């Protein structure tokens, strides 16, 4: 099967669980076994099935006269944060137990992506350094960090690469601590050890939710980032939030968003608040018949997918994926392994894994993009069932035709 490919997408059929290979106009083109499966992006469409089950029950209507003002709460440091969203963020963290809210300011952003930029600005700007300071993260790191950091060729910060080999330990720097990590799902701590230099940390905790990993303790760091994209699957709403301890850093982050986008869409905030409220209610001990616990539902989906992935790989010695330790989860009250949002797969030595998968019409992201080797690829585990099913059926059939 090493050879040509056609531009096809998998589209779910309303009446059948069998995937249809269609072109962009939706017309039937080919058998699923021929279709291109795009597992490159971490697009969280897996969660659609949960929200579809709820139907119209948790819809939100916003009348035309509502939410006209730029301002949400002028008494709040983050003046564009909708009070309802603030309340639901607090509620959810208290229920899940994954972060300490107390003594932190909540800042809403257009996705956690905007908050990463806001944090880099807020930490670097007051230093008044003659040269841009380094932003580092240990490889394999989230592939967007280098792009985001260097996009505007800022005079404040620049991408400094792999934190494991970072060597300017007497200068100020920022380390991105991504835990669980994208792409490999590993729980992380900071790695740079300094000689007294001013190291600053941004904890990117967008995957620290119980469907992906055990909640072992509430995170309590100076800057922590979360997003509905990876928590509830509502990436299209573009709502993220930061929990920030230091008031001056929080003010600078707000300033960044003020100058950048003059706040964050109120419609999106209200929708996110509604969604967060629904999942908090779904976690209540007294079970509502028509509202399944959101985290249990999505955890079970990921457990099933990872089980099938490991079985598929067992039948093909070309690939391997890491094992994760069992840990006690305070949220579920049970031991669990991690079931990350991405599979970080390694091919046998000398094989360009992204290229090999592409020859088999599976789009993934090369290890190179994460500061790692081409033997590695990142494959999204958050796509719709139809795509994951075709991927898992195709995986055992792939041969090394190098
Ligand atoms: C580690 C990490 N941080 C941040 C983001 C940005 O997410 P969003 O801007 O959708 O909140 C992503 C998205 O994939 C991510 O994987």
Mutation test residue for ligand 1: of 135, 140, 206, 208, the one with most atoms within 8 Å of CB: 206
- Centre of ligand 1 to C-alpha 153, Å, is 21
- Centre of ligand 1 to C-alpha 60, Å, is 25
Domain architecture of the chain: domains with CATH: 83-282 (3.40.640.10)
Residue 267 pLDDT > 90, yes or no?
A: yes
Nearest atom within ligand 1 for CA of residue 181: 1
Mean pLDDT, all residues of the chain: 90
> Going edge to edge, which strands form the sheet with 9-11?
9-11, 20-22, 28-30
- Centre of ligand 1 to C-alpha 98, Å, is 17
What is the structure's pLDDT at 109?
98
For 33-51, the pLDDT digits (tens) are 679 999 999 999 999 999 9
User: CB–CB of 231/117 below 8 Å?
Assistant: no
What is the SS3 assignment for 50? helix
Nearest atom within ligand 1 for CA of residue 109: 11
What's the CA gap between 369 and 142, in Å, rounded? Answer: 8
Residue 17 pLDDT > 90, yes or no?
A: no
Quick one: pLDDT band at residue 29, thresholds 50, 70, 90? very low
Nearest atom within ligand 1 for CA of residue 240: 11
What is the structure's pLDDT at 69?
97
Residue 328's DSSP bridge partners are 335
- Centre of ligand 1 to C-alpha 61, Å, is 27
For 329-375, the pLDDT digits (tens) are 999 999 999 999 999 999 998 999 999 999 999 999 999 999 999 99
- Centre of ligand 1 to C-alpha 295, Å, is 19
Task: State the number of CA atoms in the 13 A half-sphere of 66 facing the CB.
Answer: 10
Quick one: pLDDT band at residue 4, thresholds 50, 70, 90? very low
What is the structure's pLDDT at 167?
86
- Centre of ligand 1 to C-alpha 10, Å, is 24
Measured by CA distance, the residue closest to atom 14 of ligand 1 is 42
What is the structure's pLDDT at 230?
98
What is the structure's pLDDT at 334?
97
Quick one: pLDDT band at residue 198, thresholds 50, 70, 90? confident
- Centre of ligand 1 to C-alpha 142, Å, is 8
Nearest atom within ligand 1 for CA of residue 110: 9
CA angle 307, 308, 312 (to 5 degrees): 120
Nearest atom within ligand 1 for CA of residue 207: 1
Report the predicted TM-score, pTM, of the whole model to 2 decimal places: 0.92
Nearest atom within ligand 1 for CA of residue 112: 11
User: CB–CB of 294/279 below 8 Å?
Assistant: yes
Identify the weakest region by mean pLDDT among 52-61, 62-71, 94-103, 273-282: 52-61
Ligand 1: residues whose CB is within 6 Å?
42, 111-113, 142, 178, 182, 204, 206, 227, 229, 235, 240
The pair of three-digit structure tokens given for residue 52, joined into one six-digit string: 């579809």
Quick one: pLDDT band at residue 30, thresholds 50, 70, 90? low
| CA atoms 179, 183, 184, 185: torsion sign | positive
């Amino acid at each position: 099967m090493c050879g040509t490919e056609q531009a096809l997408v998998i589209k779910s059929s309303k009446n059948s669980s069998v995937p249809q290979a269609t072109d962009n106009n939706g017309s039937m083109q080919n058998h699923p076994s021929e279709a291109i499966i795009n597992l490159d992006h971490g697009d969280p469409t897996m969660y659609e099935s949960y929200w579809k089950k709820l139907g119209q029950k948790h819809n939100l209507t916003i009348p035309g006269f509502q939410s006209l003002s730029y301002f949400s709460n002028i008494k709040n440091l983050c003046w564009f944060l909708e009070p309802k969203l603030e309340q639901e963020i607090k509620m959810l963290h208290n229920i899940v137990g994954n972060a300490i809210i107390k003594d932190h300011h909540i800042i809403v952003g257009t996705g956690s992506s905007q908050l990463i930029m806001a944090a880099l600005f807020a930490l670097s700007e007051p230093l008044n350094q003659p040269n841009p300071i380094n932003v580092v993260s240990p490889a394999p790191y989230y592939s967007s960090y280098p792009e985001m950091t260097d996009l505007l060729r800022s005079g404040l910060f620049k991408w400094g690469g792999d934190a494991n080999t970072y060597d300017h330990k007497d200068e100020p720097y920022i380390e991105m601590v991504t835990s669980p990590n994208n792409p490999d799902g590993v729980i992380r701590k900071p790695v740079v050890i300094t000689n007294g230099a001013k190291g600053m940390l941004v904890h990117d905790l967008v995957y620290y939710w119980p469907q992906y990993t055990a909640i072992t303790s509430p995170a309590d760091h100076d800057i922590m980032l979360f997003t509905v994209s990876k928590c509830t699957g509502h990436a299209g709403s573009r709502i993220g939030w930061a929990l920030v301890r230091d008031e001056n850093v929080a003010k600078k982050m707000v300033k960044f968003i003020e100058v950048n986008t003059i706040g964050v869409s109120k419609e999106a905030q209200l929708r996110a608040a509604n969604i967060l409220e629904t999942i908090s209610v779904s976690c209540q001990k007294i079970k509502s018949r028509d509202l399944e616990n959101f985290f249990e539902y999505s955890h079970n989906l990921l457990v099933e997918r990872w089980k099938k992935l490991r079985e598929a790989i067992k039948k093909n010695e070309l690939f391997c994926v890491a094992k994760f330790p069992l840990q006690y989860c305070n949220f579920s009250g049970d031991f669990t392994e991690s079931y990350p949002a991405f599979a970080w797969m390694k091919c046998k030595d000398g094989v360009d894994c992204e290229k090999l998968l592409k020859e088999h019409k599976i789009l993934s992201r090369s290890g190179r993009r994460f500061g790692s080797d081409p033997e590695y690829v990142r494959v999204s585990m958050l796509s719709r069932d139809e795509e994951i099913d075709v991927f898992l059926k195709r995986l055992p059939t792939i041969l090394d035709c190098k």
